[in-house]
A and B are shown apart, each in its own frame.
Chain A
Amino acid sequence: MARLSKADVLYVAKLAKLDLSEREIKEFLPQLSSIVDHISQLGNVDTSKSEPTSQTTGLENVFRGDDVTESSLDQDSALSGTDNTYNGYFKVPAILEGRTDK
């Protein structure tokens, strides 16, 4: 059961941009551990002659012409999902810290 540690859970949560509460960490740790134990059984399967599959119907690199065929969403429609807009743009959180220009 101890396949995952609390540190693993915190690290994965950080990668996934999830802020987990202490209660969630306590709940997920044993659950994820038992699932990881289960899926680890695959380690015993001989796949030395096996290629990985990511697409099941045999398609590869489907392209289309780089043509504008019809108009896409107008600006108002594209912005309609949020109130957080500014001058016709989406407002996003700052990604840089410690501004030096003010």
Chain B
Amino acid sequence: MNLPLTIKETKEGLLAKKFSAVELVDEYLTRIEKNKNLNAFLTVSDDSAYKKAKLIDGNLQDLPLLGAVVAHKDLFLTKGLRTTAGSKVLEAYVPEYSATCVERMDTAGCIVIGKTNCDAWAHGASGENSDFGPTLNPWDNNFVPGGSSSGSAAAVASGLSLISTGTDTGGSVREPANFCGVVGFKPTYGAVSRYGVIAMASSLDSVGSFGHSVTDVESIFNAVKGPDGFDSTVTNGKYARRKGKIKIGIPKEYFITGLNKEVEKSVMEASKVFENEGIELVEISLPNTKYAIDVYYIIQPAEVSSNLGRYDGIRYGNGRETFGAEAKRRIMLGTYVLSAGYYDAYYLKAQKVRSKIISDFDKIFEEVDAILSPVAPTPAFKLGEKMNDPLMMYLSDVYTVSANLVGIPGLAIPTGFSKNKLPLGFQLMGPRFSEQTLFDLGKLYQKLVNYKPVLPF
């Protein structure tokens, strides 16, 4: 069968009976089996997928995500389906309840095909920190798919799932989307409930998604957003559509030494697409951006060390000796910056500099409606390249962490390929709860360049 690459094609195909949901599941399972070497999945849920497919085939309804096959990052609790967070600590953990996001997508008509590989506890920018082995980049198996939502990005990019979920604490949706050539969306902090999603850094964590089109991540967002009564940070945004002339800011500090030339060129070309459509481009300055990575690597490990304190092997999971090297490093770093005598110098200081970064962004958003920037300094890097140098790995997050520190949404969109046939792309960021503007701009871009998703095989 011709694999549908959008939610709309899937839904229309099912409603017109061009194919059945069971046939869809057959096709995805075959592709998953054929591409096992990618190591994109930790658990495949064929039984429950067929069960749901039969339900759909027996009662076709016009649901928003009807028949959309989804792979959940293994950080999302799925009732009765093993959930590991990519860590040996939870290698045999079977949750008793599902994440709100999982439930809402289920109600909206999704079919869960499995759980995807990720850096353990979502710690990483390459997928290599998974305790179950790295995921490979589907475009070139010698390269990383990005992380931490490595399997989710690779699964969508290679047609092993139509859509997928991910978490973005410092870029963990946008960076792998960029490295794998798919759309990745990180919502405003508190737009989507984190209930049932294993916590990494609670003042930064957001629940995002992957798809081949901006329209698809928008549909997923509409299905999962809003309060559920279980995550007190969730609010109902107004999500007003921006009317009138739109201005996009290009932060000059983001185009510095260290930015790969091909990445720079593709980002500038994307900005021209908007300019040719009459959207004004403005050079902007975010002077405190240079501190973002340091602020992030204080606040994030501090919150990680606190959140991972609950894993003691008593109520579920294995003991603390089963944590992998990166989790141990972050627990150590976080414990250090929070410890007596260092709290003021590191954690409190970082929270204050965080306020300065926030005020940079808030000021700029009085001038512009969105910011356009690179997602990562380079295209996908080679497996093993940064594994022995955690600091180098951390610096891959330089363009993504600000959105998490500031609590704003970000949308990563593919543009094409580098000379080495690795995906390229850019990201749009907007003020808090400006999702509708980002989706509108993203859809406009994909329409103007006549974007057609392609699969590597």
Contact = CB atoms under 8 A, between A and B. Distances in A.
B391 A35 contact: yes
A92 B309 CA distance: 16
A100 interface: no
Interface residues of A, number: 50
B333 A35 contact: yes
Nearest to B293: A38
Nearest to B96: A77
A80 B232 CA distance: 27
B349 A32 contact: no
Contact of A24 (B328, B394, B406): B328
A53 interface: yes
A13 B294 contact: no
Contact of B349 (A11, A17, A43): A43
Contacts of B294: 38-39, 41-42
Interface extent on B, as a size class?
Answer: 35 or more
Contact of A18 (B297, B332, B337): B332
Nearest to A74: B96
B351 A42 contact: no
B316 interface: yes
Nearest to B295: A42
Given A18-B320, A35-B297, A77-B96, A57 B233 contact: yes
A84 interface: yes
A35 B390 contact: yes
Interface stretch (B212-220, B242-250, B354-362, B421-429): B354-362
B449 interface: no
Contacts of A36: 333, 336
Interface string B325-362: 10011011101110100000110111111111010000
B139 interface: no
A87 interface: no
A33 B320 CA distance: 23
Chain A interface mostly: loop
B264 to A, nearest CB: 24
Interface string B225-253: 00001001101000000000000000000
Nearest to A73: B96
A16, A38, A59 pick with most chain B CB within 10 angstroms:
A16
B203 A32 contact: no
Given A18-B323, A20-B328, A45-B291, A51 B297 contact: no
A28 B329 contact: yes
Given A18-B323, A38-B391, A56-B358, 12 more contacts: A8-B336, A11-B339, A15-B335, A35-B391, A36-B333, A39-B294, A51-B355, A53-B355, A59-B190, A64-B229, A81-B93, A93-B314
Closest 10 CB pairs of A and B: A81-B316, A56-B407, A52-B351, A47-B352, A62-B232, A50-B352, A16-B335, A77-B96, A53-B355, A39-B294
28 contacts: A12-B336, A17-B309, A19-B320, A19-B321, A27-B325, A31-B329, A35-B394, A36-B336, A38-B391, A39-B346, A41-B291, A42-B298, A42-B353, A43-B349, A47-B355, A51-B355, A52-B355, A53-B354, A54-B351, A56-B405, A56-B406, A56-B407, A57-B190, A57-B233, A57-B432, A80-B94, A80-B96, A82-B314
Interface of B: 93-94, 96-97, 188-190, 203, 229, 232-233, 235, 288, 291, 294-295, 297-298, 305, 309, 312, 314-317, 320-321, 323, 325, 328-329, 331-333, 335-337, 339, 345-346, 348-356, 358, 390-391, 394, 405-407, 432
